[in-house]
């Protein structure tokens, strides 16, 4: 799995800019919301190409059988 990173920048007026890396789709917004409690506090949102990439889920199943 790729490293996931959130970079926060705070300007002189206290405005916060957040940039995510390694997240795909809605996961970046969920991570930012968990970190910053974004509800009703976002003034603008710019989605990157990474946001629009399709998320692929990987599943691994291991079966074992014991001898009788």
What digits encode the pLDDT tens for the residues 22-57? 888 888 888 888 888 777 677 777 777 777 776 665
What pLDDT sits at residue 18? 85
Alpha-carbon gap, residue 57 to 4, rounded angstroms: 16
Please tell me the pTM assigned to this model: 0.57
Which tops the pLDDT comparison, 21 or 57? 21
12 has pLDDT over 80: yes
What pLDDT sits at residue 53? 72
Looking at residue 40, the DSSP 8-state letter turns out to be: T
64 has pLDDT over 70: no
Q: Is 5 helix (H, G, I), strand (E, B) or coil?
A: strand
């Amino acid at each position: 799995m790729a490293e996931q990173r959130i970079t926060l920048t705070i300007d002189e007026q206290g405005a916060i800019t957040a940039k995510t890396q390694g997240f795909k789709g809605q996961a970046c917004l969920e991570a930012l919301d968990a970190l910053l409690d974004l509800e009703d506090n976002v003034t603008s949102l710019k989605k990157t190409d990474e946001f629009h990439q399709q998320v692929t889920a990987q599943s691994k199943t291991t079966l074992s059988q014991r001898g009788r």
